[in-house]
Structure 1
Amino acid sequence: MRQNPARRTALLDAAIEVLAREGSRGLTLRAVDTEAGVPTGTASNYFANRAQLLGQVLGRTRERLTPDPADMAETMAAPPDHALVRTLMRQLVERMRRERSVHLAMLELRLEATRRPELHTELARFSAEELESNVRFHLDAGLPGGRTGVVLLYLAMLGLIIDDLTVPDLLAPYPLDELIGTMVDRLLPDA
């Protein structure tokens, strides 16, 4: 396997774009080569097979969706209250909209995992780590609400994000800030 990290990252980004645009059925090593603009066969030098590629796409989505540490530090300078949680949720939606293809690729991976037990196992582990990391961040920051509230907020935001990605007109009549504010206030009671 090749070890050029920049090339590997470019191939993973290309795989994300293919997944988002073509779905999992369109994701082949050759399609990744074409999307990345590299010679045919390049992706097969980096990934033994499609399953390995899918597994590594998970890690790349985490990298692309992780907020910039400097931006996060600036945001977290605010008091740990409902207003800060609302800000964090708005920033999450903004990142989703900027990285739309990453979220669509993740939806495709979720669907693909229902048909591939090996991907299901990896996605379940990955998702559990992500959820636990989000819960731990929330609790360690002293934000309002307990573990269950954070999980409920995660589930509510996931639904909002999926609808915003796939049928945005559905939510158009409802002001986003109001939806987020109501979710935060109802799901995260003060201590």
Structure 2
Amino acid sequence: MERQRKALINGVLGTHRAQGVIEAVSPTGRGVVAQLPAASAEDLGPAVAAAREAFESGIWRRMSARDRGRRMRRLAELIDANRAELAELEALDTGKAKSYTAANDIEIAIEALDYLADQTRRISGHVSVLAPDHIHHTLVQPVGVVAELLPWNGPIWTGVQRLAPVLAPRCSPLIKTPHPRSPTLSRDRESVGGGRIPARG
């Protein structure tokens, strides 16, 4: 099952300055399951800049709650459609049984997106009347780029479980996989939209 993977920056596979590859060895004893680009610190700047540009462009943060929710549900549908392959990759990556990753890890990821898709409509400010002539208004605003550093023991479910609450309040995510030998998320991104939040339908 050995495959060549590419770095994903700004929705484009292969736009990196990596020199050489890193072999991903599965803890299941199945040997090398993927070859990953040996990305360097030089790749971090363009990745952060791309996330910041995406945020400032307003493509996501100015989108209506309804449309954000629809796209998050579509992402959940794509993960579900690729459940078998993603469960196998999660099993290879972590050493868990495939039956477990399919029923638990992948399901948690789907449920997180479904739940937070509903919450997009519930994120709002708060108005308090402190006195007859004094009204206090709190406005909820997205903070910008949010970095995610994932643990090793479940990159799909932990990744998506942390991605969903970043997307729901209109922030832009920047994801660092748990360790340089993790092939799961690279394939996850290829399978479910090439690193972009899919349109509905």
Q: Same-fold call, TM > 0.5?
A: no
Structure 1 length as normaliser, TM-score? 0.29
Going by fraction, where is strand more abundant, 1 or 2?
A: 2
Structure 2 length as normaliser, TM-score? 0.28
Structure scoring higher RCO (CA < 8 A, sep ≥ 6) equals 2
